[in-house]
Chains A and B, each alone.
Chain A
């Protein structure tokens, strides 16, 4: 299966968009070679703003640029883009609904070596809590490209979370991405797994394995955390024995909260996979961390097992 790196795809798409629209400006906090905004910088140095290691100023400055009609993309690791600049996002972007796109790179545990200070386990929770904010998590390179284009068209603040590592391409090339919608990646009728980010491809692998045992698993990619089409989630959740949520994020304030809230009162069995109110830690590779925090195919399998037995 083809794999792509979401941040590489993001950097290339931003460059394409920069060629199409002169109002796009890009701000960076000294991580351009990691977030891949270096591609935009090289071709459009006049519309690229290196803001030094100053995420707070970068975010407010982006707000000022947007007030002159620019579409401003701010970039850093997710933990800093959302966390370090939280008040600037809340006060100066969220309240006045400015056209600022906050792109949180190396999100979740994907910056495995750098440890808890650089791993974002709560970025989606804090961004979701900001009124007027759109919150998105692409599952692969294909969706990253479509999403980057969609947020450019969208008027208003957006937080988009990107993984650092290669991910398998699963989002259908001919499927349009629309903010607020969830996407059926694989159909099934025993259990539905609502997942996003890296957990989608893991859920698909589990579904393929279980097919041999005549267990049919539906996998839905919930890449729009906010807004979210609640009726579509209810429809996806109908006719199955239970549901599993799977996310590379704290169980507080992310996908588990969203899905259990939408399906409240329906008496559906729900298992949740996510990070159990803990910070990250350093590891020599990503898989070690995913194992430690219970974010593997085996964890999804075990959650499905609890529902069907």
Chain B
């Protein structure tokens, strides 16, 4: 049975708490771009995707790739909630030889589908997976999250061309339009807008949602199943640092650290 919107909202808050727990006090962590994705990742793992934490390699599963691999914490938060690995692993994130690396590592972490982190590559990997699954006649879908800063990488547009040319309609990309890159607002630093027009011109079916409204996200994900013959893009407007009041819209929390006071404040705001 599918969870209700209220249940999903509660899960998204839990994911944010897990993210804050992983960042902790006095260590750098990608808070902003992880928190902007909490609802989207919740909708994918807890509503939309067919997957099995007891059998992460189940061959008919849907795949999820985080092309913006620096937001790994939000994926770890979801995988931990689902029991892909013991929840205590999140306390050891980025420790020497830890299961949970600074960027997603399929060699160490159950549930991670690819190694991402060098930006711009995940969408190509996702497209290749989609092509492979189609060759095998699988119904599985591949979901891939890219960032609005990340799409400055030329390879994203190589992947956009390829997915369109090969009509990969089992590929759904979600663009985390949080408006901030590491050094400031995208509009001021290196403007990648307009977005929808670009993806449409590359042959993708495009829809736009509020990336924090679960109702909109799940409707868009369900609607995408009906589109055939082309890859699909959901452009999700989000707030970087969403849910942590003092970090919202603040580029410094792209990869910042929390003081003890900020940590307590962040947790209190999410409980």
A interface list, Cβ under 8 A from B: 25, 46-47, 49, 51-52, 54, 56-57, 59-70, 72, 87-88, 90-92, 95-97
Contact B124 A65 (CB under 8 A): no
Which of A46, A47, A91 has the most B CB atoms < 10 Å from its CB? A91
Report the Cα distance A57→B135, complex, angstroms: 19
| Distance of B144 from chain A, by nearest CB (Å) | 10
Sample of 17 more A-B contacts, CB < 8 Å, known A64-B126, A92-B116: A49-B131, A52-B158, A52-B161, A54-B155, A56-B158, A57-B124, A57-B155, A57-B159, A60-B121, A60-B122, A61-B159, A63-B125, A67-B113, A69-B132, A88-B155, A92-B114, A95-B105
10 contacts between A and B (CB under 8 A): A52-B165, A54-B158, A57-B161, A60-B128, A60-B159, A61-B159, A63-B124, A67-B125, A69-B132, A92-B125
In the complex, the chain A residue whose C-beta lies closest to that of B63 is A67
Q: Which 4 A-B pairs have the closest CB atoms?
A: A64-B128, A68-B132, A60-B124, A57-B158
Q: Mark B126-162, 1 if CB is under 8 A from A, else 0.
A: 1111111101101000000000000000110011011
Using Cβ atoms and an 8 Å threshold, which residues of chain B touch A66?
128, 132
Using Cβ atoms and an 8 Å threshold, which residues of chain B touch A60?
121-122, 124-125, 128, 155, 159
In the complex, the chain B residue whose C-beta lies closest to that of A59 is B124
Contact B135 A25 (CB under 8 A): yes
Report the Cα distance A47→B114, complex, angstroms: 22
Using Cβ atoms and an 8 Å threshold, which residues of chain A touch B121?
56, 60, 87-88, 91-92
Q: A51-B162, A56-B124 are in contact. Are A64 and B155 (CB under 8 A)?
A: no
Report the Cα distance A64→B264, complex, angstroms: 41
Task: Answer yes or no: B14 CB below 8 A from chain A CBs.
Answer: no
Using Cβ atoms and an 8 Å threshold, which residues of chain A touch B133?
68
Using Cβ atoms and an 8 Å threshold, which residues of chain A touch B118?
87-88, 90-92
Q: Secondary structure of the A side of the interface? A: helix
Contact A63 B128 (CB under 8 A): yes
Task: Answer yes or no: B185 CB below 8 A from chain A CBs.
Answer: no
Report the Cα distance A95→B106, complex, angstroms: 9
| Distance of A264 from chain B, by nearest CB (Å) | 31
Using Cβ atoms and an 8 Å threshold, which residues of chain B touch A72?
128
Report the Cα distance A51→B128, complex, angstroms: 11
Contact A65 B132 (CB under 8 A): yes
Task: Answer yes or no: B21 CB below 8 A from chain A CBs.
Answer: no
Q: Which of B196-221 contact A (CB under 8 A)?
A: none
Contact A54 B162 (CB under 8 A): yes
Using Cβ atoms and an 8 Å threshold, which residues of chain B touch A70?
132, 135
Task: Answer yes or no: B230 CB below 8 A from chain A CBs.
Answer: no
Using Cβ atoms and an 8 Å threshold, which residues of chain B touch A46?
135
Report the Cα distance A68→B105, complex, angstroms: 17
Using Cβ atoms and an 8 Å threshold, which residues of chain A touch B124?
56-57, 59-61, 63-64, 88, 92
| Distance of B145 from chain A, by nearest CB (Å) | 15
In the complex, the chain A residue whose C-beta lies closest to that of B134 is A68
Using Cβ atoms and an 8 Å threshold, which residues of chain A touch B117?
91
Using Cβ atoms and an 8 Å threshold, which residues of chain B touch A49?
131, 166
Which of B115, B118, B127, B128 has the most A CB atoms < 10 Å from its CB? B128
Contact A67 B114 (CB under 8 A): yes
Q: A67-B114, A95-B107 are in contact. Are A62 and B161 (CB under 8 A)?
A: no
Report the Cα distance A68→B132, complex, angstroms: 6
Report the Cα distance A57→B154, complex, angstroms: 9
In the complex, the chain B residue whose C-beta lies closest to that of A91 is B118
Partner of A61, one of B128, B135, B154: B128
Partner of B155, one of A56, A95, A97: A56
Contact B105 A62 (CB under 8 A): no
